[in-house]
Structure 1
Amino acid sequence: MDDLKHQYIIICESTSHMLNTDRLLKLRGIKTELTPTPSEYGSICTTAIAFDAEDKSFIEDILQKNYLGFQQIHPYQPRKLSGLIRSLKNNIISQPFNEVMVKIQEGKELTKEEIVLLLKSDSQSEKEALYQAADKMREEIIGDTVEIRGAIEFSNYCKKECNYCGIRKGCTTPSRYRMTEDEIMESVYQLHQWGIKTVILQSGEDDYYTTDMLIQIITRIKRETKMGVTLSIGEKSYDEYQFLREAGTNNFLLKIETTNRQIFEFIHPDDNYDTRIQCSEWLRELGYANGSGNMIGLPGQTEEDIAEDILFFKKMRIHMIGIGPFIPAKGTPFETYETGSIEMTLKAVAVTRLVCKNVYIPATTALASIDPDGQTKALKCGANTIMLISTPEKYRKNYQIYSHKNMIDLASAFKSIAEANRSIPKYLKVTPQEVV
């Protein structure tokens, strides 16, 4: 089901209706895929059901005979960027680069070779054209408002030994901590008071927090604040993901980090590539708004590898894609490795916007950690989300997954948004003047 041009999508009234519809269609032998809802039909962080055009009549008959809470069936319409080539008329670009821009303008899917060509753009004029195209795609699909979310890093214990990570098992650099439920809720209340709609609960892979403990925290957040909940807690079993989803978790962030199997195994000595892929598939199947992402500048990584990552995001129908430079932490086996390129990270952000289109792309904390203007730059080339570091002050310096981490707060988020000439979300209950 890779050719979306010959597909239709089903828009449902709710996530539960969508999952029930998808389950029934699969039982009837119909191949379906869960995909981020195109912006013209609903919110980016909702999920639609994609199916091949040849099954349309059969599906319509099934839906008419079963009340499944569906609203409409729409043909998939490739997103075009009318006027893109005209807007680039002052840029000096090569013929091959121009041909790729024409395909983007016409809404055609890019090949791996064309993605690599964009990633390898090295002239200033072509890079500016790439960023301009990505920003135009972002503006037309999502608009100018920057989504703001708050991340609470509730534990820096981890059972894994990733070679680059500052909270890896056995790393002696941080003081270990685990937040209590009440401590977590204090930070949640602060975010809720500011008007923020989604909280991200992030930790190392820490088995101290059982599924029942996590469900209790999620249930309390939902009951007391009605906020959206994103989990970023690593690899779990299918049943654990299902229980957490049923408890009210909306989104799950599990980065692939690289789709190059050899690099993945090099940076994760005690991890399994196939397990990571399986977990991502389970999350999609269970109806999570699925988050992933990669690191730019990993040892041995090429533009071809990054292109494969981007195609993976598209194939897996990822809703939120975090792209940041590789930053090794002190006290790890990789501490002397070179930090990833800011420029290549920005190009990857831009190309991901052009290829994946209607997704959330954060201006990552990692970018801000090696360039004070990194988030502003990312917002100007396709990014549309900022995540605040909302971990309590007494803990946050110990969540050093990479060295010299920038502790993004509301003031710095407002600054980046203003410098990028973008808009603060209307749901916020605090103004820039109040946080200066």
Structure 2
Amino acid sequence: MHIQTKQEILEVLSMPAPAFWAAVAPAAQKVCRDQFGDTLLVTAMLAYSNICKNQCLYCGMRAGSPIPRYRMSPAEILPLTQRAREAGLGRMFPLSGDDGNYGFDNLLTLVEGLRTQGFSIALGAGELEPDQYRALHSAGVEEYVLKFEMSHPDSFNQLNPSTTFQKRMEAAQLIKEAGMKLASGNIVDWPGQTLDELADDILLMKELDISWAPNIPYLPALHTPLASRGGPGSRLLNNKEIALVRLLLPGIKITAQQPGEDLTKGLADEQGNLDAIACGANLLFCDLLPDAKADAFRPIDRRNVSGLAHCQEVARRSGLTLDLGG
């Protein structure tokens, strides 16, 4: 199936569900299998801080949100990641809120420790300075995760008042100039988003030549202004986007950790994950965050990423083999 233009994208986004599941989803899944074989990628994830200086209207960790805050030092993190390495996991995704007080030296220490343990590293730590991106790449970060969230500047600036769309796009360019791959994506079907905007989001992923699409549908979070305007976002639209991104960017990673009908299961809903895989998604997470902190890392409510046993069950049900990256 050949998808290239905005009009073709809009036709899929507007397509009735039966037609999508009969034609587009299988085509996207075939592209994924052609690229990656019968495998699902697994990345270990550890959210080392939920402190954030930003006021994004949709995020449950926005500054001032009344949630328990935490910050983990490299000395706390590295024993956890070492156990994951010994279990065969070879990819690591440390992430945080935009925590300007974490200390860049601490971040470098963490990255260097993970590299010494033998991980390939994708990092998400917000917007940084050009020399910091370069230093992180030198320390071992291969991929940097910075979502653009929404592709229309007016929408971005309204929902992300602590930065601007121009700054986000400049940061994306700096990440690539520093030698790292760029992982970036959007929020699907947030309250007020149009199909035209969603189509432009998809085209921006192609324009940015991303390595990983970490997109999920909009899920309301307590104590956020956007939660009063509606939601959650359409899972069907999210699955359509997954398929379209796979067709446009055949060789990238696409997050399969997606919600299902029962939102209390969060992103560890097996059926939600399986539906995403059927549309061409291929990346699951193994959460290393201790239970005492897991509920506090909540950009969305009931995130519930889960662990390796969940990944193994999803692989079994999908008939695929896990690639732990070890």
- Give the total of aligned pairs: 320
Percent identity reads 28
Question: Which SS does the other structure have where 1:403 is aligned?
Answer: coil
CA distance, structure 2, for counterparts of residue 169 and residue 123 of structure 1 = 38
Is 2:4 aligned against 1:136?
Answer: no
1:346, 1:378 within 8 Å by CA — same for their partners in 2? yes
Q: Which of the numbers 118, 121, 131 marks the counterpart of 1:239?
A: 131
**In the alignment, which residue of structure 2 is the partner of 1:410?**
308
Residues 13-52 of structure 1: CA deviation (Å, up to 9, x unaligned)? xxxxxxxxxxxxxxxxxxxxxxxxxxxxxxxxxxxxxxxx
Paired AA for residue 39 in structure 2: T
CA distance in 1, matches of 2:310, 2:155: 34
Unaligned runs of 5+ in 2: none
* 1:156–1:123 CA distance, 2 compared to 1 (3 A): closer
Q: Work out which of the residue numbers 61, 71, 84 in structure 2 matches 1:167.
A: 61
Match of 2:215 among 319, 323, 329: 323
Which one of the candidate residues 91, 104, 111 is aligned to 1:198? 91
Do the aligned partners of 1:166 and 1:330 also contact (CA within 8 Å) in 2? yes
Q: Deviations over 1:406-430 (max 9, x none)?
A: 23211111111222221122756xx
In structure 1, distance between residues paired with 2:232 and 2:154: 19
Q: Which runs of 5+ in 1 are unaligned?
A: 1-100, 429-436
> How high is the TM-score relative to the length of structure 1?
0.71
Which one-letter code corresponds to 2:224 in the other structure? Answer: T
Aligned residue for 1:210? 103
Task: Report if the CA contact (8 A) 1:362-1:385 is conserved.
Answer: yes
Q: Which has the larger radius of gyration?
A: 1
Given the alignment, which residue of 288, 294, 297 partners 1:399? 297
Residue 423 (structure 1) aligned with residue 321 (structure 2): yes
Q: For 1:290-301, what aligned pairs fall within 5 Å after superposition? A: 290-301=182-193
Question: Residues 256 and 283 of structure 2 are in contact (CA less than 8 Å); yes or no, is this contact kept in structure 1?
Answer: yes
The reply to whether residue 369 of structure 1 matches residue 262 of structure 2 is no
- CA deviations on 1:115-135 (whole Å, 9 max, x unpaired) are 111111114033321100000
1:274 is aligned to 2:169: no
Partners of 1:372 and 1:207 in 2: how far apart? 35
> Aligned letter for 1:192?
R
1:192-231 deviation digits (Å, cap 9, x = unpaired): 01111111111001112222211111112212x1111111
**1:257-272 maps to which residues of 2 (within 5 A)?**
257-272=149-164
Structure possessing the higher relative contact order (Cα contacts under 8 Å, 6 or more residues apart): 2
Q: 1:228 aligns with which of 120, 123, 132?
A: 120
2:208 corresponds to 1:311: no
| SS at structure 2 position matched to 1:315 | helix
Q: Which residue of the partner structure matches residue 79 of structure 2?
A: 186
Partners in 1 of 2:36 and 2:195 — Cα distance?
27
Give matches, 1:11-160, under 5 Å: 101=1, 104=2, 110-160=4-54
Equivalent AA in structure 1 for residue 222 of structure 2 = K
Structure 1 residue aligned with 2:277: 379
Report the alpha carbon displacement of residue 366 of structure 1 after superposing the two structures with TM: 5.0
Q: Which piece of structure 1 moves more, 147-156 or 406-415? A: 406-415
Poorly superposed stretches of 4+, deviation over 6 Å: none
Q: 1:300 to 1:217 in 2, by over 3 A?
A: same
Q: 1:177 to 1:322 in 2, by over 3 A?
A: same
Give the deviation of 1:365 after TM superposition: 4.7
Q: Name the structure 2 match of 1:59.
A: none
SS at match of 1:376: helix
CA contact (8 A) 2:91 2:324 kept: no
| C-alpha contact (below 8 Å) 1:146/1:424 kept by paired residues | yes
CA RMSD of aligned residues (A): 1.6
Q: Is the 8 A contact 1:377 1:420 kept in 2?
A: no
Matched residue SS, 1:411: helix
